[in-house]
Amino acid sequence: MTDFSGLNLAQPILRAIADEGYTTPTPIQLKSIPPLCEGRDLLGVAQTGTGKTAAFALPALHRLAEDGGKNLGKPQSLKPRVLILAPTRELAGQIGDSLRSYGRHMRLRLAVVFGGTPIRPQIRTITQGVHVLVATPGRLLDLMNRGQLRLDGVETFILDEADRMLDMGFIHDVKKISAAVSANRQTVLFSATMPKSVAGLAGNLLNDPVRVEVAPTATTAEKVEQRVLFVQKSKKRALLDELLNDKSIKRVLIFTRTKHGADRVARNLHDSGVRSDAIHGNKAQNARQKALRGFRSGNIRALVATDIAARGIDVEGVTHVINFELPNDPESYVHRIGRTARAGADGIAISFCDRDERAYLRDIEKTIRQNVPVFEDHSFHAAEIANDPGPAKRPQQQRRKKRPNQQRRKNPQRSRRAA
């Protein structure tokens, strides 16, 4: 079974899949769609880029269509039938966009709700009735507390990026929400990683789940053509300008470690005549959405982002990822380069590494279990940095362990605001 017709999905869904240009289900879709269509609970271990959204969205729509067919019937006021929880606004928005596409032949009513935007229009839509609600936990609870939402009619409850949800301190919110969802429901939990906390949550929420898993982290890295350029910190800006002279770099995501760094790089690019914008947690929601829209439509060639802002961003056709600064956490490197080479496409990731970042590169190479090839014949290549083994240990890492305020990063209030 290698095409979608073997999955017995409802006709309007198959038509939408064909409209999207999908011909073959991805491995996570092949494994998830049949048990989900049967109504089983499911625990999915999969990262963005594997096709996981369609893996849970298509069966949810199929089950909605099952009794109603093309016309799903009028949704009940305040009572969605499918609830999808996502940790960030960006991810919620993207899931909503996917569902709208997949449900386009079904008269689907859908709302996406998250904080940082006016609540009144959301209340109006939910009062009119939606089949599917996609939400971040904070705004969802707000709506429930105002009596503007009821979850006792939810037939399918989906949690996406559960690990991230817990990292951001949403555990209590998630528990409150799942207690309010009808007990007689199907529950689906997807997570990129499976730390104990997520396994514990899954144990509480899921009933005899099917477990599906695809491609561990390292395989993403294998699909991307990677290069590292050793360069003086002071020359990174000129190097970036030089690289972007290459017209084959059509849509490039550039990563910095800090929000200010992202703004600075975007400004510099703009001054050099490159259509660019920055996206990070300090930007207002509509500014972030505008930047993303511009990047998607091709109006913006270079989008500069921090790790948090970029997580879950799903833009097709990103030809290149450039690490203007290397992340101090190897997992972030894998997430970053995974923004290119999506769904089987090829992608190129170029990392700038200055003297202080040598240790980060070593950690990354250990994690991805490969050496990143060096761009030695580039005019900016700094052999003295390439040949300098650098300190044996990362000074930041040693310091980090002792820092008492490290805990603060896990503070739910702070993280929630950042979302």
Judged by the rule CB under 6 A, the positions of this chain that interact with ligand AMP are 22, 24-26, 29, 48-54, 314, 316, 342-343
116 sits in the region (left: phi over 0; alpha: psi -120 to 50; else beta) called left
**Of residues 173 and 314, the one with the C-beta less far from ligand AMP:** 314
> How would you classify the pairing of strands 224-230 and 347-353?
parallel
Residue carrying the six token digits 């561990």: 216
Question: CB of 341: closest distance to ligand AMP in angstroms?
Answer: 11
Residue 203: closest CA among 214, 216, 191, 189: 189
Cβ burial, residue 44 (10 Å; 0-12/13-18/19+):
buried
Residue 248 CB burial class (10 angstroms; 0-12, 13-18, ≥19): exposed
**Least CB distance to ligand AMP at residue 49 (A):** 5
Instruction: Please report how close the Cβ of residue 162 comes to ligand AMP at its closest, in angstroms.
Output: 15
Distance of CA 66 to the CA centre of its chain: 29
Give the nearer residue to ligand AMP in terms of CB position, either 86 or 361.
86
Q: What is the smallest separation between the CB atom of 343 and ligand AMP, expressed in angstroms? A: 3
The minimum distance between CB 168 and ligand AMP, in angstroms, equals 19
Looking at beta carbons only, is 110 or 274 nearer to ligand AMP? 110
Beta carbon nearer to ligand AMP, 54 or 84: 54
Which residue number places its CB atom closest to ligand AMP?
53
* Minimum gap (Å) between residue 209 Cβ and ligand AMP: 20
C-alpha–C-alpha distance, residues 135 and 272, integer Å:
39
**Of 119 and 215, which has the nearer Cβ to ligand AMP?**
215
When the beta carbons of 22 and 360 are compared against ligand AMP, the nearer one is 22
Shortest distance (Å) from residue 164 CB to ligand AMP: 13
Q: Which is nearer to ligand AMP, 25 or 80 (CB)?
A: 25
